Structure 1
Amino acid sequence: MRILVTRPIDDAQHLAEHLHRMGHQAMIAPLMTVRYRPIPDLERVLDRAQRVLLTSANGARSLARATDRRDLKLATVGRATAEAARRAGFTRIDVAGGDADRLTELCAQRYNPAEGPLAHIAGSVVTGRLGERLAALGFLVERRVGYDAAAIGELPPPVADGLAQGQIPAVMLFSPRTARLFLDEIERIGIASRFTRIDALCLSPAVAEMARGLPWRRLLIAAEPAGEAMLALIDHAGPNGTPPPGHEPAHEPAGRG
């Protein structure tokens, strides 16, 4: 089965390898490009921090680019981010359950605000309220921007044509921002009506909610916000896939407002 992968190129290539081993063909069309940047005042922040928080694989890569230190104590939002950190050489990692709420819970259970600040290495666009929630628990969070994720803008013509002709029966969406960029591009090129034959594979309910602006055949949501759960959705996607128990087809688009 052909599957559209919309992640930035580093993550997309890694995912495409998994899909190939599963017997599928990945079509890669990143909707954002990642540009790493120097992190100001990083060593002072790291010296003070009891733990470094990473909420994306790009955050792990940006930290690895910005410092040679690999003795840092990290806390990652989920397994995929932890794996990116391990590939970069970090070994002291606590792993949360896959979203910001679970990362907040991990910090509350394992760390003490009196033992020092938490450093959060993130992108220039941050979704969610991780910093606010941790501050309410008494933590000082020092956020530093390690990368920008800029919108690319257009789908490659072979991908747009494949979607219009019903040749790509599944689209993987990993963030609300990616889903919004994808919807905007589909509306711009005027092929929204073709999506009654295409399934959306969404990392979380928040991603699915943003994706509802298209008349998808089905909106499938991963059982947990992790890469393995996204891959498990593939068994339910496409014309021969069986929807998960209790799932309702998404025949009618909903507004995004």
Structure 2
Amino acid sequence: MARGVLVTRPEPGAAETAARLTTLGWTPILAPALRLAPRPLPHPPRAQALLLTSRAAARALTPWPIPVLAVGNATAETARAQGFAQVRAAEGDAAALAALCARTLDPADGALLLAVGAAYSLDLTALLRARGFRVIRRVVYAAAEAPGLPESAARALLGGEVSHAMFFSPRSAACSLAAISAAGLTASVAGVEALAISPRVALALEALPWRRIRVARRPDQDHLLELLGTP
């Protein structure tokens, strides 16, 4: 049985996932679909709280004294590691983060600073504004599409060495599918099980003929790895 797992998340997360896979007995095959680059935020605007929807956003920031609400536990842990002291975590998606804001914050106390990647978190912005919050979006990292599928990943797909592929966001899923198609490897995924971190990601995967698409019970890496189990 093939033990290769295609990891499509960008670095530095790809290496972290690869280490987890190796511990579980799988063979990670790195194929990051995006390349991340931080954008400095030297003078953060005044806000009652900072909202973080990804670990990439947390890593891009230099900490300052402000309450932080993170989309999930992994992002919260990264924010604490960066040096933010007051950090709370939601249950893993935009709706949960908006609900946490509604429960714990008052729109009258000031704006919310939403630190994001370019073109990300527009749905969260809409949810928060519908609840009466003023939202200040600031782009703190850029996410550029990778130039193509790595040669090692292409060889593994062509050789039938890949049993599973992990997808962490709708955009990285779409970029991965484009890279696989551009490499002429669409048929090679017929024996591969696609693992999606959320239903939105699963929807983005439907364009290719995967063996099947499965969705994590909760939108985090631990539950995505739960779908894999051990080889």
> Given the two structures, how large is their TM-score scaled by the length of structure 2?
0.95
Q: Does 1:30 align with 2:32?
A: yes
> Does the 8 A contact of 1:19 with 1:26 survive in 2?
yes
Q: Does 1:110 align with 2:104?
A: yes
- Matched ranges for 1:61-210 at <5 A: 61-64=59-62, 68-69=63-64, 71-210=65-204
Query: Which consecutive unaligned segments of at least 5 residues does structure 1 have?
Result: 241-257
CA RMSD of aligned residues (A): 1.4
> Does the 8 A contact of 2:5 with 2:165 survive in 1?
yes
Structure 2 vs 1, CA of residues 212 and 227 (structure 1 numbering), >3 Å: closer, same or farther?
same
Q: Does 1:218 align with 2:216?
A: no
Task: State the Cα deviation string for residues 42-78 of structure 1 (Å, max 9, x = none).
Answer: 1xx1xx21110000001101113xxx52x32100011
SS in 1 for 2:61: helix
* Letter paired with 1:62: A
Give the drift of 1:39. 2.1
* Letter paired with 1:77: V
> Does the 8 A contact of 2:149 with 2:183 survive in 1?
no
Match of 2:57 in 1: 59
SS in 1 for 2:21: helix
Query: Which consecutive unaligned segments of at least 5 residues does structure 2 have?
Result: none
Give the drift of 1:40. 5.9
Match of 1:249 in 2: none
SS in 1 for 2:227: helix
SS in 2 for 1:3: strand
Figure out how many residues of one structure are paired with residues of the other and give that number.
229
> Does the 8 A contact of 1:125 with 1:149 survive in 2?
no
Give the drift of 1:136. 1.4
